[in-house]
Amino acid sequence: MNQNLSGRLARAGKRRCAITAHHQRIGYKVMSITFHPRPGMVLICDFNTGFKAPEMIKRRPVVVISPRPRRSNQLCTVVPLSTTVPNPVEPFHHRMDPQSLPGRLAGKETWAKCDMLSTVSLERLDRVIIGRDRWGKRIYAARGVTTDDMGAIRRAVLFALGMPMTSSVSA
């Protein structure tokens, strides 16, 4: 390997380590969850890798909509949340109740973008940090969205998929 290339690779590795350390200091994802989340949990999803605009492409809160699997499964279906008001508001958008949202999210108008649902690896997901205890240990949000919000999100997802809810299912 030539001297110039090896020097650039070494500098890139140092820069990557510095970026990772910076992200850890400011609360970015350090590790993924080690459990399968229950429906209605609000988590943080890292959409940075493998997605391209106009798909979701950054870290953002999500609501879990898939049930816990009976067998080990490292996938989870989520609906992303956004503080940007949709223009125009469509039937597949849902304005969240502030009581459903943990920490600082509760203070902002937040929308479920039910047309953007994704099935993601559990490695992309992390819990929402709502603070630290007196020893500096992270405190995570534990409550899920309200029953009304979960029902509205499910209805909006069905609408987005072209499967409006009906009283009977036909084959």
Specify the DSSP element, H or E, that contains 118. strand 118-121
DSSP 41: B
Q: How far is 60 from 47, CA to CA, in rounded Å?
A: 8
**What was the pLDDT predicted at 166?**
65
- The pLDDT of residue 25 is 47
Nearest to 156 by CA among 117, 119, 101: 117
Sole residue written with tokens 């609501």:
63
Read off the pTM: 0.75
Measuring CA to CA, which residue among 103, 114, 102 is closest to residue 151?
A: 114
106, 61 Cβ separation under 8 angstroms: no
C-alpha 169/C-alpha 155 separation (Å) is: 15
What CATH number is given for 31-160 in this structure? Answer: 2.30.30.110
What is the domain partition of the chain in residue ranges? 1-27, 31-160
pLDDT in tens, the chain (171 residues): 455 544 544 554 444 444 444 444 455 545 688 889 999 999 999 988 887 777 777 899 999 999 988 887 899 999 999 999 999 999 999 999 999 999 888 888 999 999 999 999 999 999 988 889 899 898 888 889 999 999 999 999 999 999 877 655 454
State the pLDDT at residue 163. 87
